Amino acid sequence: MTGEGKIEFNTPHRVLLGPGPSNVDPRVLKAMAMPTIGHLDPFLMDLLAEEQCLLRSIFRTNNEWTFALSGTGTSGMEAALANLIEPGDNVLVAVNGYFGVRLVEISNRLGAQVDRIDCPLGNIFSLDEIESSFQKKPYKCFAMVHAETSTGAEQLHIQEISRIVHKHDALFILDTVTSLAGISVEVDEWEVDIAYSASQKNISAPSGLSPITVSPRAQEYILKREKPISSFYLDLKAYANYWGEGHLYHHTTSANLHYALFTALKLIEEESLARRFTRILTNAQMLWEGLERLSCLPYVPIDHRLPVLTTALVPPGVNPHEVRKKLLTDYNIEIAAGFGDLKDKVWRIGLMGFSSSIENVTLLLRTLEQLLG
């Protein structure tokens, strides 16, 4: 890729219809390519302050502790758990897919006593299941995934779940990696204690930053806990000291990633969350109708089916992986395979953020029709 004195760098131009990253608006890419500045530069400090306000609007919160962590969504998950959990704590995790399993795994590594409740892939939890778990045992912390990227299921009744959790004096961690800025997320109304997400899904910036927000209740707990959290890198108190007025150095956050995130958030503000949710839902409905015509039936029932991530059953006799490879290689279209038990049964089709457009749905359906026909 180099020559004498010159570097020619090129990448494929993919239509990203997988579980994320989604396509990035050219205005975001352009912003990201502006010159780097220092991590304590007054301009960056102003930018982060404004970015923080924009993050609060998409999380629908007034939480003081609202940041973008210098890592991917998984760093947000680990930060949420690590800042709240101390070794020996009782933690309850609701698992209905891959990312629920990851919540269990990270909690275990942090030394928690973890109990998990499970429901079949594609299903969601009832209030009774959660209530009855809490009646058996007290928990310090309850964690669940709002939008399971591995199955395409949207956990409903979050506000009611939150009430159960708080009635039992536990803290409520909600994974909003695939939901934030794609479907309704109401951190304050739902009284979520920590919600975290990722920059590359419905926000449609490149990956590398993890938006996170912390309720006053969780903030107070973190400030009061005596044992420092095991991770220095993901210490939310240190983030508060850097993002706050003191601008205390903690690590060299990536100015360029913040240029991108900031711009992507401004674009969301310009569109408005309400219009964005409508666009995303409308395009998903068009996708679902088209998939049904192609006998690629959506796997998740309509009442808790995610518009941003659809699992579609592969028609009998079709090799899902060959179709997927053909889409990528011949058409530059990325969709994903199923996860776990669904590996050979479904495709995962994302219509997230900037990727959610009539053009993309039309292109995908027409191409699938050709490949399956």
Residues 22-51 within binding reach of a copy of itself (CB under 8 A): 23-24, 27, 29-39, 41-43
Q: Among residues 133 and 200, whose Cβ is nearest to a copy of itself? A: 200
Interaction of residue 113 with a copy of itself, rule CB under 8 A: no
Interaction of residue 9 with a copy of itself, rule CB under 8 A: yes
Interaction of residue 206 with a copy of itself, rule CB under 8 A: yes
Name the token pair of 256.
Answer: 């360029």
Among the listed ranges 6-14, 135-143, 212-220, 303-311, the one in contact with a copy of itself (CB under 8 A) is 6-14
Minimum distance from residue 55 beta carbon to a copy of itself (Å): 16
Rounded to the nearest angstrom, the gap between the alpha carbon of residue 342 and the centroid of all alpha carbons in its chain is: 20
Among all chains, which residue has been given the structure tokens 């609007």?
57
Verify cis geometry, omega within 30 degrees of 0, for the bond prior to 211: no
- How many angstroms separate the Cα of 30 from the Cα of each of 63, 355, 360? 30, 17, 22
Among the listed ranges 120-128, 152-160, 168-176, 248-256, the one in contact with a copy of itself (CB under 8 A) is 248-256
Please pick, from the candidates 58, 61, 73, 240, the single residue that binds a copy of itself as defined by CB under 8 A.
73
Tell me how far apart the alpha carbons of residues 264 and 297 are, in angstroms, rounded to a whole number: 33
Interaction of residue 334 with a copy of itself, rule CB under 8 A: yes
Interaction of residue 106 with a copy of itself, rule CB under 8 A: yes
Q: Which helix (H) or strand (E) holds 118?
A: strand 113-118
Tell me how far apart the alpha carbons of residues 209 and 51 are, in angstroms, rounded to a whole number: 12
Please pick, from the candidates 200, 310, 311, 356, the single residue that binds a copy of itself as defined by CB under 8 A.
200
Q: Among residues 10 and 245, whose Cβ is nearest to a copy of itself? A: 10
Q: Among residues 34 and 127, whose Cβ is nearest to a copy of itself? A: 34
Over its C-alpha atoms, the chain yields an Rg (Å, rounded) of 21
195: DSSP letter: E
Please pick, from the candidates 89, 109, 237, 244, the single residue that binds a copy of itself as defined by CB under 8 A.
109
Name the token pair of 147.
Answer: 């939008």
Q: Among residues 112 and 187, whose Cβ is nearest to a copy of itself? A: 112
Residues numbered 132 to 161 that lie near a copy of itself (CB under 8 A) are none
Question: Which among 327, 321, 326, 328 is positioned nearest to 343, based on CA atoms?
Answer: 321
Interaction of residue 194 with a copy of itself, rule CB under 8 A: no
Among all chains, which residue has been given the structure tokens 């070794």?
87
Q: Among residues 125 and 201, whose Cβ is nearest to a copy of itself? A: 201
Please pick, from the candidates 256, 282, 357, 362, the single residue that binds a copy of itself as defined by CB under 8 A.
256
Please pick, from the candidates 163, 247, 266, 304, the single residue that binds a copy of itself as defined by CB under 8 A.
266
- How many angstroms separate the Cα of 207 from the Cα of each of 9, 15, 136, 256? 20, 16, 40, 12
Among the listed ranges 204-212, 272-280, 295-303, 308-316, the one in contact with a copy of itself (CB under 8 A) is 204-212
Beta bridge partners of 212: 67, 196
Among the listed ranges 122-130, 156-164, 245-253, 298-306, the one in contact with a copy of itself (CB under 8 A) is 245-253
Q: Among residues 230 and 282, whose Cβ is nearest to a copy of itself? A: 230
Please pick, from the candidates 137, 251, 343, 366, the single residue that binds a copy of itself as defined by CB under 8 A.
251
Minimum distance from residue 317 beta carbon to a copy of itself (Å): 26
Among the listed ranges 3-11, 139-147, 182-190, 290-298, the one in contact with a copy of itself (CB under 8 A) is 3-11
Interaction of residue 267 with a copy of itself, rule CB under 8 A: yes
Tell me how far apart the alpha carbons of residues 87 and 228 are, in angstroms, rounded to a whole number: 11
Angle CA 130–131–134, to nearest 5: 90
Verify cis geometry, omega within 30 degrees of 0, for the bond prior to 42: no
The neighbour count for residue 249, using CB atoms within 10 Å, is 11
Interaction of residue 353 with a copy of itself, rule CB under 8 A: no
Please pick, from the candidates 180, 198, 296, 323, the single residue that binds a copy of itself as defined by CB under 8 A.
198
Which residues touch 354 (CB under 8 Å, ≥6 apart)?
Answer: 22, 23, 24, 25, 204
Name the token pair of 192.
Answer: 């979520």
Pair 349, 312: CB distance under 8 Å: yes
